[in-house]
Structure 1
Amino acid sequence: MERITEKDSNYSNLETMSVKEILENINREDKTVPNAVEQVIPQIEKLAEIVSDKMKAGGRMFYIGAGTSGRLGVLDASECPPTFGVPFDWIVGIIAGGDTAIRKAVEFAEDDINQAWIDLKEYDIDEGDVVVGIAASGTTPYVIGGLRKANENNIITGCIVCNSGSPVAAEAKYPIEVVVGPEFVTGSTRMKSGTAQKLVLNMLSTCVMIRLGRVQGNKMVDMQLTNKKLYERGVKIIMNETGTPEPAAAELLQKHGSVRKAIEATAK
């Protein structure tokens, strides 16, 4: 396979550029990423549909990845409970090397082809679940092994990669191949590739949560009220959705502890 993610940057002698030139050139490259994501919306759609169906039936979605890709999976999974009010085990992010690797690289963790399945089994994964491998290169052994074992156990698999024709995509039943081209700093897939993966993860999990009824209209009615900003947002949602004045909306939210429940209470 051709590793476009490893191709030489379109820019040379970066160290001779001014700060402005560096920033403008990075931005120029970043602007190409949404277009690359747009090209693979049909692939994202297929995975989002199957994940929605599985989760409606009580299944879960697991992200597996290493390095930047693994961190992005953990990030997306960790943001779903506060945003959509879902349990922490509905979407689970697993990174090669364990939680330590979120902050500090764990040497050679991504090269263990057996470890992802060991990590997944700790969650009693079964045929009702979905495993999504995240790997910019599409060659990470940790991800390949996890997807392969999931397939052997009749578990639906998907992936998000940034090269075409990769081993990871070959293992995934629902591959998403978003090719963004060479990085500004050669091989630094934390840049355009990471941005593309983040965009796809946003689209996938948000679409699934909407399909599961965790958004009403266009509002996060199930969000967790964990700080003042979110509490005030909840009050405003109740005001907008019900026409209730602010003091009464705040009282409703205080009483019911949930934006959704407060709105439903006014409809009775």
Structure 2
Amino acid sequence: MRVLLKHDRTAEVFSKELLRIGNGQVPIDPCSGLISIPTAICQFASSKDELISSVYPNIAQNYGNYEWLAARAILAAKNIDVNDLNWTIQNQIPGDLRSIDRVENEDEVVNYPVEFLNSLDLPGMPPHHLRLKVGSVVIVLRNLHSPKLCNGTRLIVTKLMDNLIVASFLKGPFKGEECLLPRIPLTSTDLPLQFKRMQFPVKLAFAMTINKSQGQSLEVCGINLEMPCFSHGQLYVACSRVGKPSSLFVYAPGQKIKNVVYRAALN
């Protein structure tokens, strides 16, 4: 766990409350099936906008500070919330990069028009409509060049071209090094049909899914729980990205959330 115990009593309480969440020891309301978020582990946001401003204060002025960006992220359970958060955070960033989608089997073009393919938002695939700017935080969606460019690596965009992105590593042993990301054909694997999407293998990562955040260490973390956690240990994973309650901001309607814990998995 990323818990800072040195000279910080709140961090010690934070670690104990995290273990209670992870072990499923926080009492559950029998009527709603929800738990009340322990007040010792976080600061509450009353709205999604407040959550964003708490994690990314004055982003219009600070987005050029790579150290500042690397230290923070907002997490959510599902991609639909993540996409909405990313668009909201980056709504004033200009620039537009469009992809070219086509069906792998040309005989299927009539059955699956381009407009339909462009509308698909699939796990592990970049969106058809990708908006980026110098200073955007992105996450890599493919293993491109191990051990440097792997699925889940967070980067900062430093230069944009029609068919090439220049980016720098935000964290890790290659922090500060530049890399090149080409626009490449990506083939879908989660659909009955196969189609290619010609796009950069990245997505915005001001916000990311809780599952994608595993292994990440942050200094400031926000959690949007409009849509509840749906798998074992998700809430624990999200809350444990930081080490003290002053660094964790949570938006949950009614300050009640679902904590999915399968006790059999803990034995």
Do both share a fold (TM > 0.5)? no
Bigger fraction of residues in strand: 2
What TM-score, normalized to structure 1? 0.30
The TM-score, its normalising length taken from structure 2, stands at 0.30
Larger radius of gyration: 1
Tell me which protein shows more helix as a share of its residues: 1
